[in-house]
Chains A and B, each alone.
Chain A
Amino acid sequence: MKKLINSPESVLTDALAGIAAVHPELRVDHDRRIIVRADAPRTGKVALVSGGGSGHEPLHGGFVGPGMLDAACPGEVFTSPVPDQVLAAAKAVDGGAGVLFVVKNYTGDVMNFRLAAELAADEGIAVRTVLVDDDVAVQDSTWTAGRRGTGATVFVEKIAGALADRGADLDKVAEMAEKVNAASRSFAVALTACTTPAAGRPGFDLPADEIEIGVGIHGEPGRSRGKLAPARELVGLAMDAILTDQPLDAGDKVIVLVNGLGGTPLIELYVAAAEVAAVLAARGVRIGASLVGNYVTSLDMAGVSITVCRADDEMLDLWAAPVTTPGLRWGN
């Protein structure tokens, strides 16, 4: 294993020290392991708190700031944060208007955030939770833990964060978050496995000419394995899965995320973006907004995830609203 780390055990601690060193507009509480807007709590504003395992940067710490999250709770690599962390974040940011937890649908995240919500309620903080579950590679059924939360998390955090900035109340912000999630679908393809610092070797063996289809963001293998193919075919596979689950009609508007999983060069993501645009254009679907880059990563995994959100004008307007975070920044 070659990694730019001091030790596998200290990766999160050391990375938090880096965030604190270069982002004075954020407050890093090293003991509680939370990243908070330096100007929190904002009186009267609904606060957004998210979190999850580390290794997905810039998600979530990179999305803390005006127009998006008020706090993030990073767990160990690929491990959800603990309830104490989430509670500390909720207390740090609650400005009296309540707190929205944005939780990706994984068993551990759901349990730890649920325990935190109970603790927060005991302390008189109004909490609502939105579960993000956009990954169509997992069938939502009684036979699985349900769809995973992946790329749509960026859409939910940005759009709900903008609405909170405009002064909407907790129920309205939660409702919008749920609406964005319900309108979003994702699918990912991996070209290589990723290596967690703790394991020290790739999560699965993948021959040079094979890919994993339908992967998540935690280095777990996908639903199936296939042969490496041109980007046009791989994107076609992903778009088929997305559009089968949520058909789009001519005239629909979408927000598109072409997301690198951590080890894919930007030029390849633009190759994928061209294919996504071609598929949508062929159906008469208009791209209202888009994002290409590494936003929800899986450490050093090579590969791409595509997220498509069917957006109405309000969602597009909120997406375009100003945001100032380490990971997303525009309009100011």
Chain B
Amino acid sequence: MDVTMVNAWIRAVAAAVEEHRDQLTQLDAAIGDADHGANMSRGFTAVVATLDDFQPKTVGDVLVKTGSTLMSTVGGASGPLYGAAFRAAGKALTGPTASPDQLVAALHAATAAVTQLGAATPGDKTMLDALAPAVTALEETLFHGADLAAATEAAAKAAQDGAHSTTPLQARKGRASYLGPRSIGHQDPGATSTALIFTALAAVVAAG
């Protein structure tokens, strides 16, 4: 993965967020406060504008810039959480290219940052329910000798399955937790947007 590819990934995420903006908002309306689509859209619109004028030297530069911009524009819980995730991943990638193994390590750092800031564990009905299985799938698929395209495809599938798996869960973190058992039966918006990020990664890697 090089600077061009990571740039394409973030732009693909921005496009996916725009395309699924209403879906994210409606999922959030059911168990939260109906702003996840608007907030993610505002954040990634700002990210794209920032990257237009940015001259990154490393893969990590792009991700750190993405995280900082999200932190400064999104608000809510998703701003700090996605901000911290992209920044942590970016700080781990200090070269002009990143190997698949380096990408895995960076995503582990992102997961650790989200876990630390949000104090959530898998099963709490949060973005972590998509993030953690995606990173595991990426690592395991690579370990079995597959290439990055197959591995990111597996990660995207795991993230989507993870997002779907939040539907029967009762939320224990964030605003949805106020609903208690009534949060059951709704897919988590944060896990859904995380799945979009991994789906975009797979598409960009597949396109080469």
Query: Chain A interface (Cβ within 8 Å of chain B)?
Result: 8, 53, 75-84, 106-108, 111-112, 115, 137-138, 142-145, 148, 196, 198-199, 201, 203-204, 216, 218-224
Contact = CB atoms under 8 A, between A and B. Distances in A.
A114 to B, nearest CB: 8
A243 B43 CA distance: 43
Contacts of A142: 172
Question: Which one of A111, A115, A218 has the greatest number of beta carbons of chain B within 10 Å?
Answer: A111
Given A75-B76, A79-B74, A224-B182, 19 more contacts: A8-B38, A76-B38, A79-B33, A107-B173, A111-B79, A112-B79, A138-B177, A142-B172, A144-B172, A145-B175, A196-B34, A204-B30, A218-B175, A219-B29, A219-B33, A220-B31, A221-B179, A221-B182, A223-B182
Given A107-B77, A223-B179, A78 B33 contact: yes
Nearest to B30: A204
Contacts of A145: 173-175, 177-178
A81 B80 CA distance: 11
28 contacts: A53-B76, A75-B76, A77-B35, A78-B33, A79-B33, A79-B74, A80-B79, A82-B71, A82-B72, A106-B77, A108-B78, A111-B81, A115-B71, A138-B177, A143-B177, A144-B172, A145-B174, A145-B177, A145-B178, A198-B35, A198-B37, A198-B38, A199-B29, A203-B34, A218-B32, A220-B33, A223-B178, A223-B182
Nearest to B172: A143
Interface of B: 25-26, 29-35, 37-39, 42, 71-81, 117-118, 170, 172-180, 182
Given A111-B77, A112-B80, A115-B80, A79 B39 contact: yes
A204 B179 CA distance: 13
Given A107-B118, A148-B178, A219-B33, A76 B80 contact: no
A323 to B, nearest CB: 28
Nearest to A106: B175
Given A76-B39, A81-B75, A220-B31, A111 B182 contact: no
B180 A111 contact: no
Question: Which one of B31, B37, B76, B80 has the greatest number of beta carbons of chain A within 10 Å?
Answer: B76
Question: Which one of B25, B32, B34 has the greatest number of beta carbons of chain A within 10 Å?
Answer: B34
A107 B174 contact: yes
Main secondary structure of the interface of B (DSSP, over half): helix
A199 B35 CA distance: 7
B131 to A, nearest CB: 16
Contacts of A111: 77, 79-81, 117-118
Nearest to A215: B178
A106 to B, nearest CB: 7
A199 B179 contact: no
Nearest to A111: B80
Given A144-B172, A223-B179, A80 B75 contact: yes
A165 to B, nearest CB: 30
Contacts of B29: 199, 201, 203-204, 219
Question: Which one of A143, A144, A221 has the greatest number of beta carbons of chain B within 10 Å?
Answer: A144
Question: Which one of B35, B78, B175 has the greatest number of beta carbons of chain A within 10 Å?
Answer: B35
Nearest to B173: A145
A53 B76 CA distance: 8
Contacts of B26: 199
B175 A199 contact: no
Contacts of B25: 198-199
A85 to B, nearest CB: 9
Given A112-B80, A115-B80, A138 B178 contact: yes
